[in-house]
């Protein structure tokens, strides 16, 4: 019996085309909540970049790829990047190896508004501010979005001690603590609610959702998901814009 459902945002709950939640997805969420299923956000976005339609109504929020988790009682998991690793990445940015978005608890900024960063912002319907990379030391950093090509992630991991990376777009990789990832966030939520992994389902479309898939009993890949994600999902549903969430929930018998 499914007692909790975890949802990625971009490409899963929200369309990349409209940046909105399909009406069928809203109906599916309402029906799950009516039946007592916990609905949980699991995203690489920070809390302040959650769309208005998602900021309320969910039982818990896994943000920044699992590094900051909270519910209506407050934060119950906080895992920023170690300061020495932040310093190493800042040094590489200053040397011009790559550009980054710096994601902190209260703000996000880019060291430079390059064309790739502007393109990414448009893709997810956001705007980014530019600031001096030294501001990365003003408060803990939970995640860097490093604008490196696939296969170049070693530039970061070779220069640091305790970070790893994941990816949901070809434009950049998410740099997070080695003790981070959506799987750690899912585990924290399940423990908080007293729910077993086999009683949970996860919906996603990107590589950063694979860790989440491994932490639940049932996984659903959207029709627009990466092939590598579809290959490791329990089932593959239709495209986010083709009632993907609703159809999957019907197939699973949870609505």
What is the third-level CATH fold of 4-78+180-252?
Rossmann fold (3.40.50)
Written as one string, the DSSP assignment of 77-123 is: EE-PPPHHHHHHHHHHHHTTS--EEEEESS-EEESS--HHHHHHHHH
Same fold, 4-78+180-252 and 83-177: no
Residue 122 confidence (pLDDT): 78
Q: Give the residue from 232, 243, 239 showing the smallest Cα distance to 208.
A: 232
Q: Give the residue from 140, 135, 134, 139 showing the smallest Cα distance to 176.
A: 140
Boundaries of every domain in the chain: 4-78+180-252, 83-177
Is 43 in contact with 21 (CB distance < 8 Å)? no
Residue 120 confidence (pLDDT): 77
Residue 127 confidence (pLDDT): 78
The mean pLDDT values, 10 residues at a time, for the chain of 255 residues are 97 92 98 98 94 94 96 97 98 97 95 88 80 97 95 96 89 92 97 99 96 98 97 98 98 97
Nearest-angstrom CA–CA distance, 68 and 48: 12
CATH class of 83-177: alpha beta
Residue 123 confidence (pLDDT): 75
Pairing state between β 100-104 and 141-146: antiparallel
Residue 14 confidence (pLDDT): 95
Q: Model pTM greater than 0.85?
A: yes
């Amino acid at each position: 019996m499914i007692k909790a459902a975890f949802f990625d945002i971009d490409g899963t709950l929200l369309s990349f085309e409209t940046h909105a939640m399909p009406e069928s997805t809203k109906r599916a969420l309402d029906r799950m909540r009516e039946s007592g299923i916990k609905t949980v956000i699991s995203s690489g976005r920070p809390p302040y970049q959650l769309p208005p339609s998602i900021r309320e109504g969910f039982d818990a929020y896994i943000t920044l790829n699992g590094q900051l988790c909270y519910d209506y009682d407050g934060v119950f998991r906080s895992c920023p990047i170690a300061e020495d690793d932040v310093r190493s990445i800042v040094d590489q940015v200053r040397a011009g190896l790559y550009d980054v978005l710096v994601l902190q608890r209260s703000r996000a900024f880019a060291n430079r508004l390059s064309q790739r960063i502007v393109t990414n912002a448009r893709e997810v319907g956001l705007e980014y501010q530019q600031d001096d990379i030294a501001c990365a030391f003003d408060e803990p950093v939970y995640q860097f979005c490093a604008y490196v090509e696939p296969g170049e992630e070693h530039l970061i991991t070779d220069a640091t001690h305790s970070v790893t990376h994941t990816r949901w777009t070809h434009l950049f990789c998410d740099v997070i603590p080695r003790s981070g990832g959506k799987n750690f966030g899912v585990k924290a939520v399940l423990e908080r609610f007293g729910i077993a992994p086999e009683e949970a389902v996860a919906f996603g479309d990107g590589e950063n959702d694979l860790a989440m898939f491994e932490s639940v009993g049932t996984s659903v890949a959207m029709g627009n998901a990466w092939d590598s994600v579809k290959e490791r999902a329990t089932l593959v549903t239709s495209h986010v814009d083709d009632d993907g969430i609703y159809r999957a929930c019907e197939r699973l018998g949870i609505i």
